[in-house]
C-alpha cells in the first residue's frame, strides 16, 4: 500500500492490542508526526487546529499517566477525529477489516466509496489482478493498494 508524500501512509499505527494504555500514547505519537510531516486536509485555521491537537495530546497523555480511564473513550474518539484530518481522500482511520487489534489508516474499498470517489472527480483504477489506485483530477496518484 502506498500514498503520495503529502498524505500519511496507509497502514498500521498500532497492532496486537486494544488496551487504551497502549493505544492512546500510540495515537498521540502518530498525531504529532502528522502535525509536522503531512498536509492538513480541510483546516482553514491551521494554528488553531495545531493548538487544539497539542492540548488534546497533553490531556490524553495525562489521562494515561494518571489512569483516568473514564476519559479514555472520549479521548480515543477525539484523537481519531484529529488524525482523520490528515487522511488521504477515501481512506479512514479504524481497525483492519480482518484484524480488530490492528488500528491504522485503511483505504475505503467498498463499491459505494469508490463510486463516490468517481462522482467527486477522482479516477479509480482497478486492475485485472484486483489492485486499486486513486488519482486526483491532475492524474496524480493519491494512494494504491496491491
The pLDDT-based confidence of 5 (bands split at 50, 70, 90) is low
Q: Structurally, how many domains does the chain consist of?
A: 1
Task: Please compute the mean of the pLDDT values over residues 104-131 and round it to a whole number.
Answer: 94
User: Which bin fits 95, alpha (ψ -120 to 50), beta or left (φ > 0)?
Assistant: beta
pLDDT for position 22: 85
Segments forming the whole domain that contains residue 86? 2-145
Q: Tell me: the pLDDT tens digits for 7-61?
A: 778 899 999 887 888 888 898 888 888 877 766 655 556 666 777 877 888 888 8
The pLDDT-based confidence of 71 (bands split at 50, 70, 90) is confident
Counted residue by residue, the chain has a size of 146
Output the CA–CA distances (angstroms, integers) from residue 52 to 69, 78, 100, 110, in the order listed: 21, 10, 29, 32
How much is the mean pLDDT over the chain?
83
Amino acid at each position: 500500500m502506498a500514498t503520495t508524500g503529502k498524505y500519511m501512509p496507509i497502514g498500521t499505527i498500532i497492532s496486537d492490542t486494544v488496551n487504551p494504555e497502549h493505544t492512546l500514547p500510540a495515537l498521540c505519537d502518530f498525531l504529532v508526526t502528522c502535525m509536522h510531516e503531512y498536509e492538513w486536509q480541510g483546516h482553514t485555521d491551521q494554528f488553531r487546529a495545531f493548538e487544539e491537537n497539542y492540548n488534546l495530546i497533553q490531556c490524553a497523555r495525562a489521562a494515561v499517566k494518571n489512569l483516568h480511564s473514564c476519559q479514555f473513550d472520549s479521548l480515543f474518539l477525539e484523537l481519531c477525529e484529529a488524525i482523520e484530518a490528515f487522511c488521504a481522500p477515501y481512506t479512514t482511520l479504524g481497525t483492519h477489516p480482518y484484524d480488530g487489534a490492528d488500528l491504522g489508516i485503511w483505504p475505503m474499498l467498498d463499491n459505494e466509496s469508490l463510486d463516490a470517489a468517481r462522482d467527486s472527480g477522482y479516477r479509480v483504477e482497478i486492475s485485472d489482478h484486483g489492485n486499486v489506485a486513486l488519482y486526483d483530477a491532475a492524474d496524480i496518484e493519491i494512494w494504491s493498494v496491491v
